[in-house]
Amino acid sequence: MSVTIKSSAEIEKMRAAGALAAEVLTLLEPYVEPGVTTEKLDRIAHDFIVHQHHAIPAPLNYRGFPKSICTSVNHVVCHGIPGPKKLKKGDILNIDITVIKDGYHGDTSRMFYVGEPTIQGRRLSEVAHAAMWEGVHAVRPGARLGDIGHAIQRCAESHNYSVVREYCGHGIGAEFHEEPQVLHYGTPGTGMVLEAGMTFTIEPMINAGRKETRLLRDNWTVVTKDHSLSAQWEHTLLVTASGFEVLTLRHDEVIPN
């Protein structure tokens, strides 16, 4: 599959999908507290997407995934399946939302603290957040994919954290996963050249310990091999004529310098 350059009409649809995905994360924030189950968070998100916005939760039944959102707690790197286990004080939680609205996808995730996080949990989440934004700021026409990966890797490793290698960002649009693959590590000046009209996600997974991961028997849930904490943030980006536009920016979110 080749990279698709989005038309102005497609970009408008992606803005709408991105705005809805961002809105779901904002909706869920007050519900993330000790004692809540990730299954309840899934139901709230599902009802909001389907019944209030007549959109589609993209993960549901995607290659057999059984739920409408992904919830990854503590040492879960990504693709955690919502279930009956209750969140407890001190947990860190990634909620990953992808919606399909008018045929186009919006994909975003963020970290939440369940009550007061541990010092390590807060620090890891903050560094993962900073690493994502370092990658975003590398996006502009003429830049290369390796510039994005290098910026993220340099940020994470400067804090003695590691970058997960097996999972990466991806092109997105009418399809959930399109070209290109957006690695979160790499060498500057290498890889595909970015062009205005490209849309893709940047979603680094940063581990407090080693970078290696393990896939659980459900064939979805990915955990750190050494059981260390993991954190992830994600946005969908548009390459513009002069730089980037964050299509999944939340209303309360400010792009850092």
User: What is the reported pLDDT for 174?
Assistant: 98
Number of other CB atoms surrounding residue 235 within 10 Å: 29
Residue type at 178 in one-letter notation:
E
Percentage above 90 pLDDT, the chain: 99
User: What is the reported pLDDT for 203?
Assistant: 98
Q: What mean pLDDT comes out for the span 124-153? A: 98
* Per-residue pLDDT band at 1 (split at 50, 70, 90): low
* Per-residue pLDDT band at 90 (split at 50, 70, 90): very high
* Per-residue pLDDT band at 2 (split at 50, 70, 90): confident
pLDDT tens per residue, range 141-182: 999 999 999 999 999 999 999 999 999 999 999 999 999 999
Cα separation, 137 vs 70, whole angstroms? 26
Count of positions (residues) in the chain: 257
Cα separation, 250 vs 125, whole angstroms? 18
Q: What mean pLDDT comes out for the span 232-245? A: 98
Tell me: pLDDT of 59 over 60: yes
Q: What mean pLDDT comes out for the span 78-96? A: 98
Percentage above 70 pLDDT, the chain: 100
pLDDT tens per residue, range 25-36: 999 999 999 999
User: What is the reported pLDDT for 83?
Assistant: 98
pTM of the model: 0.97
* Nearest residue to 11 via CA among 86, 81, 105, 128: 105
pLDDT tens per residue, range 175-212: 999 999 999 999 999 999 999 999 999 999 999 999 99
Tokens of 79: 């693709």
* Nearest residue to 231 via CA among 94, 89, 55, 133: 94
Q: Does the bond joining 82 to the residue before it have cis omega, within 30 degrees of 0?
A: no
